[in-house]
């Protein structure tokens, strides 16, 4: 029963997307939007009920430091698997463990909030927008749950199609150029990713005599260190584009700046997490020896990410670019936790993945609201917003303080555990990285407080006197994000116990 429920959960969004494209729906924005919102909410509730009552995830204590994908059950896609594919070791199957389970709930949650938030930002091609969002959701759910390396790669590439269209069609006049840059960077990294997967595939066959692409049946423990290092480097380059790891980040700021607000929410909250998820599954889980050797280098790159992203964010005048560069800095902390090779660092990294998804989605939505109402995203032209939009200001403070790592909010837990994981790491270099990371977090607080001070305080310009506070649907999105951020900040063991590390 759980197997069928998993397949239904993964593929329901694409069915909803196809339904929207049928003649059952005209081009009436209200009907399309209502259906999309109701479906997204029901799908989110389905995901919660599935994990509470329907899944059989083994919660016995295991050493999660290996991070091997070991689902309690696997569901094969019927009518697609055949003898030809099976003979070469390809099985189109999906499964869930603790990590993939969290990512599935996060995907359903962010998609729901994005659909609700899109009301004022989608002015054309309504059917195509909501269909593409649901198509993308199914692709992401497939990436987070597939147990087959080639299916993983196929979905990794397939994700480019809806993202390119979402960025280019509903963005500003420069969005097509930014969408193309996003595709080219990702496709370039995918070449390294494919090479790494092929090397794992054939190396495992040479060592074990079994031709399989099923990650749950692959062991690289007997592979020599040099080959593991080569494969690890290829995979890190491929995944690093999505994180993004410096210097593979050049596409990020332009893409966010030119994309529509709902698309930026999806991109920051979910798409950036694909790279870290891949590093955990493949580098951390399969190529443990090679990852251990490369860990100090990855830790250094993580610190560079933190410093570089925070420094650039501080000097930005456009608030959307500020938030975009802050994501580079925050993902550096996630990478630091993963590369520390400790259970604490791993749990901190996963926690910060979830926290950053919530705060990034919230920050980009706040920026979108400000740009929509005040017709500018330039910090120097904004002032006194709190005096006429107190509800926006209140929610903004919760989300911004969480992003700054204030205690009793979700951002603090992930940052603390990631840095503490570096402190207790057996690798001496990580203790230095932890010290640097603590001081750089002060800079993170500086650029976020600069955003608050410049935008929300000061004298309100006369031209903004008639601007309205947030609407009901905006209140729902920001309220939901703020509630979850506070909940996870006050009760962090909701996730930590689920990870069971």
Structural domain contains residue 376: yes
Q: Which residues contact 307 (CB under 8 A, 6 or more apart)?
A: 329, 332, 436, 440, 443
Q: What is the CA radius of gyration of the chain?
A: 22
* pLDDT tens-place values along the chain, 501 residues long: 677 888 899 999 999 999 999 888 877 888 999 999 999 999 999 988 877 765 556 544 444 444 566 676 677 777 777 677 778 888 888 988 888 889 999 999 999 999 999 998 988 888 999 999 999 999 999 999 999 999 999 999 999 999 999 999 998 888 899 999 999 999 899 999 999 999 999 998 888 888 888 888 888 888 888 999 999 999 999 999 999 998 888 898 889 889 999 999 999 999 999 999 999 999 988 888 999 999 999 999 999 999 999 889 888 899 999 999 999 999 999 999 999 988 899 999 999 999 999 999 999 999 999 999 988 888 988 888 999 999 999 999 999 999 988 999 998 998 999 999 999 988 889 989 988 888 877 777 888 888 898 899 988 888 888 888 999 999 999 999 999 999 999 998 888 887 764
Structural domain contains residue 229: no
Q: Which of 239, 240, 241, 207 is nearest to 223 (CA)?
A: 207
- Alpha carbon distance 137, 21 (integer Å): 16
Total of domains in the chain:
1
Structural domain contains residue 251: no
pTM: 0.93
Structural domain contains residue 344: yes
Structural domain contains residue 393: yes
- Based on the number of CB atoms within 10 Å of its own CB, is 77 exposed (0-12), middle (13-18) or buried (19 or more)? middle
Structural domain contains residue 159: no
Structural domain contains residue 418: yes
> Residues 210, 216, 220, 222: what is their CA dihedral angle, to the nearest 10 degrees?
-70
Using an 8 Å Cβ cutoff, are 113 and 270 in contact? no
213 sits in which H/E element: none
Which residue's entry shows tokens 């019927």?
A: 78
Domain range for 343:
292-501
Structural domain contains residue 212: no
For 181, the token pair is 């840059």
For 273, the token pair is 């997490």
């Amino acid at each position: 029963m759980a197997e069928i429920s998993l397949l239904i959960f993964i593929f329901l969004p694409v069915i909803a997307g196809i339904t929207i494209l049928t003649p059952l729906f005209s081009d009436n924005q209200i009907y399309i939007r209502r259906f999309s919102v109701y479906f997204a909410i029901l799908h989110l509730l389905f995901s919660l009920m599935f994990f509470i009552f329907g899944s059989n995830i083994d919660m016995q204590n295991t050493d999660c430091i290996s991070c091997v994908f070991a689902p309690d059950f696997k569901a094969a896609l019927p009518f697609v698997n055949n003898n030809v594919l099976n003979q070469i070791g390809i099985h189109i199957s999906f499964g869930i463990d603790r990590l993939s389970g969290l990512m599935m709930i996060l995907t359903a949650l962010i998609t729901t909030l994005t659909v609700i938030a899109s009301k004022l930002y989608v002015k054309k091609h309504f059917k195509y927008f909501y269909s593409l969002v649901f198509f993308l959701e199914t692709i992401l759910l497939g990436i987070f749950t597939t147990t087959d390396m080639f299916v993983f790669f196929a979905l990794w590439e397939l994700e480019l199609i809806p993202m390119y269209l979402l960025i280019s069609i509903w963005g500003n006049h420069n969005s097509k150029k930014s969408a193309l840059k996003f595709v080219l960077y990702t496709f370039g990294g995918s070449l390294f990713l494919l090479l790494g997967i092929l090397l794992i595939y054939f190396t495992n066959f040479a060592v074990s005599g079994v031709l399989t692409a099923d990650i749950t049946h692959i062991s690289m423990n007997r592979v020599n260190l040099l080959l593991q290092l080569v494969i690890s480097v290829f995979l890190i380059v491929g995944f690093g584009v999505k994180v993004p790891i410096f210097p593979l980040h050049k596409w990020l700021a332009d893409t966010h700046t030119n994309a529509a607000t709902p698309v930026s929410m999806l991109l920051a909250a979910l798409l950036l997490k694909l790279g870290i998820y891949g590093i955990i599954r493949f580098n951390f889980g399969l190529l443990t020896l090679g990852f251990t050797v490369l860990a100090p280098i990855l830790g250094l790159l993580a610190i560079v990410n933190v410093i570089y992203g925070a420094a650039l964010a501080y000097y930005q005048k456009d608030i959307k670019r500020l938030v975009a560069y802050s994501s580079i800095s925050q993902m550096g902390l996630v990478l630091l936790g993963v590369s520390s090779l400790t259970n604490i660092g791993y749990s901190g990294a996963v926690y910060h993945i979830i926290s950053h998804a919530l705060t990034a989605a919230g920050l980009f939505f706040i920026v979108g609201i400000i740009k929509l109402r005040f017709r500018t995203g330039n910090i120097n032209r904004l002032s006194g917003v709190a005096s006429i939009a107190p509800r926006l200001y209140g929610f903004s403070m919760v989300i911004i303080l969480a992003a700054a790592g204030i205690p009793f909010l979700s951002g603090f837990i992930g940052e603390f555990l990631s840095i503490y994981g570096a402190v207790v790491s057996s690798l001496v270099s990580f203790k230095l990285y932890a010290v640097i990371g603590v001081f750089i977090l002060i800079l993170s607080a500086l650029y976020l407080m600069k955003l608050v001070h410049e935008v929300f305080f000061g004298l309100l310009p006369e031209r903004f006197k008639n601007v309205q506070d947030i609407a009901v649907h905006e209140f729902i999105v920001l309220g939901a994000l703020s509630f979850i951020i506070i909940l996870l900040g006050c009760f962090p063991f909701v996730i930590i116990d689920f990870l069971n590390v």
